[in-house]
Each structure stands twice: as structure tokens, then as C-alpha cells.
Structure 1
Amino acid sequence: MIRTLRAVDFRCFSGLGLEIPEGGAVFTGDNAQGKTSILEAVCVLVRLHSPRTRKVPAMCRMGGAGGFGIAGEAWGQERRVRWQRAFELAVDGEPREGAGSYLSDGGLIVWMGNEDLELVRGAAETRRHYLDFIGSQVEPGYRTALARYRRALKAKNLLLKDLRPREEELRSYEEVMISEGTLLVEARTRLVELISPRAADSQREVSGKEELLGLEYRPAGGHDLRLALEQARDRERRQRQSFVGPHRDDLLLSINGLPAGEFASEGQQRTLALALKLAQGEALAAVRGSLPVYLIDDVFGELDPGRRNAVLRVLPGAAQKWITTTHLGWLNESAGLEGMARFAVKAGSVANAID
């Protein structure tokens, strides 16, 4: 559980200090007041990751010192993240060198938001990102393999832009792509096998119908990346870009045998997105043996009572939940939110909410 959260110069907060009970907290307020930034700060503290941006400077407060700090007691440890041109990381006052060391004994996170609809409707990159976020939490070496693969891919693409690509260098980077990419493909295959039955169960539970959810992992280079690169070599040299590899993988989603992005109703798509995130939480708990913290950004206020109560039934009762909402009416109608603190957020300040 996360007991405390402190932040300085993060997003709209010049300073933030919270104590959170075991059950979690509900943050209410209008849009653009800072609710989502609180959840984002938790994600950065725990996983060094923002679900909102890949540009770390974007998280610095405008008018601040050009950096930010986040700290808190999480899973019995005092964790601290500072950023000013580079990350400075510490656990229980001891510096940690590198993200891998910092994350090795950190906790687990599931982020749920309305943008999750892009998992169903959006490009393949969104679904790859979903798998990568799970993989980095449960698969040893996943984060490192992904970083190495991306560096080799970037270098290869730069070489392909040359009028006379240096073949020996290209092949050396392809060797890195093959070794690291094969690890990613194998890990993603295991992840989809782990997630699929859990997502199917959640789809039926939340929808209240016997809807058949299908997940199919489609590696762009197949399961033999070396062969795929050899077969694509002439085409890649002619068109000067990389066509095969984990950077082009996809996770195909279907409802009752039909592509969900094309044929599922909006309600089915919304339920599918929720099912994927609920399955993520179950998979993390199954592999790591501990419950994740659920960061739920303005989801429940958009659901009808049936789906909302079904999601609350599926969420582990013992898991800590951080929930944001602009609508208050549904709170008192919903079971499973007992023991949670309530805070009002306005213009970058947080106060205890009055019912």
C-alpha cells in the first residue's frame, strides 16, 4: 500500500502532502484542477512512468525551478524520485543507480482511465504499450530488453536513411534486434496467454452477457525474427525503413469472433477496455504474489450502475484504490468504497472533502 505521497513542483502542484488509508482515496473536483496529476505522481513514484506523457519536462510545474520531486511511503519503504535533467532515485535514504535497481523491489500499478478506449479503437502502438507496461512489472529483463531493442532499431533506421547504408553496421544492429526482440516476442506470448482467460472472465462479468472475448498476439516478424529480417532485407534497404520486429507487433481483439474495433458497440468496447485492465491486475497479482494499487481516473462516473457495480465486484476488495471523479452522485450508490478517504481538489490544492 501507499501510505503517504509528497510532491514539489509537479504539474500544477507547488507542494502536495497526503496521507492515505489502506483502502485508498477518492479525489473529487472539476476538470483541470489537478486530480489526474495526483495519480500520475503515484505512477512516477512507483514505476518511473507517466501514462500521460513520455516527455519528463512536461511534468514540471510552470514557473517552478525546472525540476520536480516526488516521495512517499510505499510498501513499507520510503521512496524518492527527483528529476532535473536526469533522475535521482533513492529508497530508504540509499541512492539507487538506474531505473532497474529502483524498480527491482518496487510495487505494482494498474492505471485505468477513459483513454483506455484507445486499446480497442486506436493504433497497434497503444496495445503494445499495454503489454510493455505489464511486461516491465512481471517479466525479468523485459524493460532492459525493450530499451536495447529500441536503441538498436533507432540506430538501424538512421543508417537506412543514408544514400549508401553501411551493411556491416546494419547487420550488427540487426543482431541486437534479433536477440532482444526474440526475448520480447517470447515474453509477450506468455503475457497474452496469462491475460486472455482473465480478460474473458472480466468481459462476461462486467457486461453481464455471454460475450466471447478473443485476444490474439500477432508478432510482426513471426516467431523467427532472424528469418523475418532476412526476408525483408531487400525491401527495407529499398524503402529505407524497418518493417519487421516487435515495434510493429499487435494484439488483435475480438468480440464473438468479430474485430472489436470495427464491429463492437461503444458499450462493448468500453467493457473490453475495462476487462483488459482488470485482467492486468489479476495477472500482476498471480505472478508477483501481491496486489497492485489501482489508479482509476474518472472512470466510474461514466459507467451505468450495472457496469460500475460489476467492476467494483471484480476489483480485489483488499487492493488500495485511488479514484478521481467529477461526479459525486454515484459514490453513495456504490458498494466496495468503504474505508476510503475523500479529498476535494481545486486549482492545485487538496483538502479533506465534506460529504
Structure 2
Amino acid sequence: MLRSLRVVDFRCFPGLGLEVPDSGAVFTGRNAQGKTSVLEAVCLLVRLQSPRTSRMATLARVGGAGGFGVAGEAWGAERRVDWAPRRPMGYRSDGEERSTQGAYLEDGGLLVWMGNEDLDLVRGGGELRRRYLDFIGMQVEPAYRRALGRYRRAVKAKNFLLKDARPREAEIRSYESVMIESAAVLRPVRSDLVARLAPEVARYQSSIAGHEEGIEVVYEPAGGMDLGVAIEQAAERERKQRRTLVGPHRDELVLKINGLAADSFASEGQQRTLALALKLAQGQVLADRRGTQPVWLIDDIFGELDVGRRNAVLRALPPNAQKWITTTHLDWLEASPEFQELARFAVKAGTVAAEG
């Protein structure tokens, strides 16, 4: 759990300091006032990534010093992340500098992010579902992050070489070796995660919808689990199309409801419920794998849900987990006595003030 959060020149905040109880906090305010940026700062502090951008420069406050800092007491340690242009990102835990992202994350905590954009997990392309699996994988398997980074770099290099009129085969094979080695880490983790996620997604889908629905969550590795064989079989097609056609970067997480593809045949209500079920299942799997509850960052989803789904989600959230929630109104909170102990903050134009 996070006891405190402090930021300097992050997004719209020149400075911010918060103390948060174990139960968590609710941040209220109109849109575009900075509510989501508070959760984003937590995500960066805990997992070193933002759900909104991959470019650190966009997180620095316009008109600020050019960089930013995010710090806080989390899991019994004082943690800090700093970024500035043309300098390596800095990571510290209890004053000790961590040399790599992996070293910083190894004794950190777990995280689930829920937002209205989660509907794209069902409606959108495969990249979004791979990112969903990757976010879980990096939290449960320390080697996953490094393998994913190596794999992405190797695919990028291979694709560059394939665009040459006369591809340099020896170099391509060297990058394929890296791809195969990395896939041997990524794919077993993905396969295991999907096996654990599938029953949980079905359970949450039923509890939120209020009735049984035939939910299928299936992992489909592009080209099969043996990437070496798949690369050999796809070699001619790849040379013709000048791009890499098999591997974890094209894996798919297939979602079906009652035997039909959820993106094409499910109703909007079914799709929205499935998106919620995917995130609730993520939290359950993280807790089961690591033996501790993740922090839940819940970004303004309750205004988009009908009363039935909203109440079902509130009941499904683990009572002993810390929750950071943004919302434009508190109507739902007044009807949820189990959430009354959350601290309340008002967010307006880049300022955060404690309420009652």
C-alpha cells in the first residue's frame, strides 16, 4: 500500500503532497482538472510506466524546469523516480540508487488500472490485449520485462533488414535467435496467465451480468509455441511481405461470448461487462500469484456504468486492497457504506485539497 505521494512538475502539478490511508482515497472534480494525473503518478512510481503515454517527456509540466519527480512511501520503503531531458532516469528506494528498472521493481508492489478505455480490450486490436498480458506478466515474472524488451528490439531490427532488396540472411538469423530465446520466456508465462485468467473472467462476467454466459478466453500464439519451427515455415512469406509474421508480437488473446467473437457479435453491455471482468480477473490472478493484493487505480468508471454493473463491481473489489478512485460525482459512494472510510480529495486546476 502507498502511505504518501509527492510529485514535482508532473503533468499539471507544480507540486503535490498527499497522505493516504490504507483503504485508499477518492478524488473528485470536473474533467481535465488533474484527477487522472494523480493515478498516473502512482502508476509511474509503482510500475515505472504510464497507461497514457510511453514518452516520459510528455509527463513533465509545461512551463516547469523540464523534468519531473515522483516519490512516496510504498510497501514500507521511501521510493523515488526522477526524469530529466538527456539524462538516464533515476530510481531510488530508501535512498539507495537502483541501477536498472528491474532492480527498482523487484521489491515493489502490484497494480491494476481500470478506466473507460478498457472497453478497447474487447473492441480493439490484438496489440491492446497483448499489452494487457504484458502488464500482468511483468508483475509476476521478473525475467519477463527483460525478455520483452529484447524481443521487441530484435523484431524491429529484423523488420529493418527484411526491407532491404537483398536481405542479409546471417544478420537476420542472429536476430531470430534472440527472438526465439525471448519467446521461450514470454510464451509460457502468457500461456499460464491465460489459463489462470479464463475461469476468473468467466466468474466475474457472470457475477456482473447477473446470469451465466459462455465465456472463452484463449491464448493463440502466432505460428505456434515453437517459434523456431514457425520462423522456418514463414520464411518465404516474410521475404515476400518484408515483415516478421510470426512470434509473440502477433499473438492473440481470443475473447468469445456464447461461442461468438466478442468484438463483433457481443452487445455493448456484454462488451463492457467483459472489459470489467478482464480487469477484476487481473487483480485476482496477481493476488494469487504473489500472495498480496495489488493497489487498484480506478479512473472515473462509475459514471459510465448502470447501477447494476456499478454495484457488482464495487462488491467484487477486494475489501482489503487499497483503492485510488477518481470520479466527477459522489452519488455512488453515498450508497456504498463499505467505501465511506476512503479519504476524500477535491481536484481543481492542478490543486488537490482534502475534504471533510
| TM over 0.5, shorter chain | yes
C-alpha separation between the residues in 2 aligned to 1:83 and 1:233?
A: 42
Cα displacement (A) at 1:183: 1.8
> What is the match of residue 194 of structure 1?
196
Q: Number of paired residues? A: 354
C-alpha separation between the residues in 2 aligned to 1:128 and 1:281?
A: 17
> What is the match of residue 46 of structure 2?
46
Instruction: State the SS of the aligned residue for 1:336.
Output: helix
C-alpha separation between the residues in 2 aligned to 1:72 and 1:93?
A: 12
Question: What are the superposed Cα offsets for residues 138-173 of structure 1, whole Å, 9 maximum, x if unpaired?
Answer: 023111110010111111111112222111000000
> What is the match of residue 74 of structure 1?
74
Residue range with higher mean Cα deviation, 105-114 or 83-92: 83-92
**4+ runs deviating over 6 angstroms:** none
Cα displacement (A) at 1:334: 2.1
Residue range with higher mean Cα deviation, 91-100 or 197-206: 197-206
Cα displacement (A) at 1:300: 1.4
Instruction: State the SS of the aligned residue for 1:66.
Output: coil
Is the contact made by 1:28 and 1:326 (CA closer than 8 Å) also made in structure 2? yes
User: 5+ residue gaps in structure 1?
Assistant: none
Question: What are the superposed Cα offsets for residues 244-263 of structure 1, whole Å, 9 maximum, x if unpaired?
Answer: 11001110101111111111
Q: Which amino acid aligns with 1:279?
A: A
> What is the match of residue 260 of structure 1?
262
2:183 is the counterpart of 1:152:
no
Instruction: State the SS of the aligned residue for 2:65.
Output: coil
Is the contact made by 1:309 and 1:335 (CA closer than 8 Å) also made in structure 2? no
Instruction: State the SS of the aligned residue for 1:211.
Output: coil
Question: What are the superposed Cα offsets for residues 32-63 of structure 1, whole Å, 9 maximum, x if unpaired?
Answer: 00000000000000000100011111111101
> What is the match of residue 58 of structure 1?
58
C-alpha separation between the residues in 2 aligned to 1:213 and 1:66?
A: 48
2:32 is the counterpart of 1:35:
no
C-alpha separation between the residues in 2 aligned to 1:330 and 1:184?
A: 40
> What is the match of residue 102 of structure 1?
104
> What is the match of residue 12 of structure 1?
12
Instruction: State the SS of the aligned residue for 2:153.
Output: helix
Aligned 1:240-255 pairs, distance under 5 A: 240-255=242-257
From 343, 352, 355, give the equivalent of 1:353.
355
From 305, 316, 334, give the equivalent of 1:332.
334
Q: Which amino acid aligns with 1:235?
A: R
Instruction: State the SS of the aligned residue for 1:6.
Output: strand
Question: What are the superposed Cα offsets for residues 209-234 of structure 1, whole Å, 9 maximum, x if unpaired?
Answer: 11121101111121111111001111
Instruction: State the SS of the aligned residue for 2:353.
Output: strand
Aligned 1:83-122 pairs, distance under 5 A: 83-85=83-85, 86-122=88-124
C-alpha separation between the residues in 1 aligned to 2:274 and 2:341?
A: 29
> What is the match of residue 214 of structure 2?
212
From 261, 273, 276, give the equivalent of 1:274.
276
> What is the match of residue 289 of structure 2?
287
Cα displacement (A) at 1:14: 0.5
Instruction: State the SS of the aligned residue for 2:223.
Output: coil
2:126 is the counterpart of 1:127:
no
Instruction: State the SS of the aligned residue for 1:32.
Output: coil
C-alpha separation between the residues in 1 aligned to 2:228 and 2:237?
A: 15
Q: Which amino acid aligns with 2:50?
A: S
Residue range with higher mean Cα deviation, 296-305 or 38-47: 296-305
C-alpha separation between the residues in 1 aligned to 2:82 and 2:336?
A: 38
User: 5+ residue gaps in structure 2?
Assistant: none
Cα displacement (A) at 1:338: 2.4
Using the size of structure 2 for normalisation, the TM-score is 0.98
C-alpha separation between the residues in 1 aligned to 2:259 and 2:166?
A: 47
C-alpha separation between the residues in 2 aligned to 1:227 and 1:283?
A: 31
Query: For the aligned residues, what is the CA RMSD?
Result: 0.9
Instruction: State the SS of the aligned residue for 2:142.
Output: coil
> What is the match of residue 235 of structure 1?
237
From 169, 172, 176, give the equivalent of 2:174.
172
Cα displacement (A) at 1:235: 1.4
Using the size of structure 1 for normalisation, the TM-score is 0.98
Is the contact made by 1:145 and 1:180 (CA closer than 8 Å) also made in structure 2? yes
C-alpha separation between the residues in 1 aligned to 2:311 and 2:214?
A: 21
Aligned 1:306-317 pairs, distance under 5 A: 306-317=308-319
C-alpha separation between the residues in 2 aligned to 1:170 and 1:336?
A: 57
Q: Which amino acid aligns with 1:30?
A: R
